[in-house]
Amino acid sequence: MREAEFLKEEDFSSLVPKIEQFAKDTSTPFYQHTHEVSLSLMESKYLTVVGKKDGEIVAYLCGFSLNKYEFMIQQTYSEDPKLTIIMGDFLIGHLKPLGTNKLFILFKHNPRAAERHGFRIERYAMVREI
């Protein structure tokens, strides 16, 4: 069985290995991602949705409200690609009644993969080392 739900405090320790794998896969800081996910347990602006298969966490997505109308997904990791869609639908089902009408995703992989889930490039995050 595949299901999605909001992260509960008692599930946090089970999620840490997934966050660590996401950090390795994207070559980004583990502590930053752990901090963002933990914020969802403390602040309503942040949300983490976990995907479970047979009761075990195998996927998650984490993000925050930019404003009343826009939500930014910062992390998404899944051992089961079908859960990505289930988690996305769960998140949209929660955000839509609140007035959110646009999702952004900070994608650390080839952006073509996000197109499969209905995303298109609208803004660019650019970096300059100084």
Q: What is the pLDDT of residue 116?
A: 76
Residues 104/123, Cβ–Cβ less than 8 Å: yes
| H helices, E strands: number in the chain | 4, 5
The identity of residue 13, as a single letter, is S
Q: Closest by alpha carbon to 64, among 29, 101, 22, 36?
A: 36
pTM: 0.84
Q: What is the DSSP letter of 66?
A: S
Q: What is the pLDDT of residue 44?
A: 93
pLDDT, one tens digit per residue, over 104-117 is 887 666 667 778 77
Using the predicted structure, report yes or no on whether residue 60 has a pLDDT greater than 90.
Answer: yes
9: which 2 tokens? 């405090």
Phi, psi of 71 (to 5 degrees): -130, 135
The answer for residues whose C-beta is within 8 angstroms of residue 19's C-beta and 6 or more apart is 30, 33, 34, 37, 60, 75, 77
Domains and their CATH numbers in the chain: 2-115 (3.40.630.30)
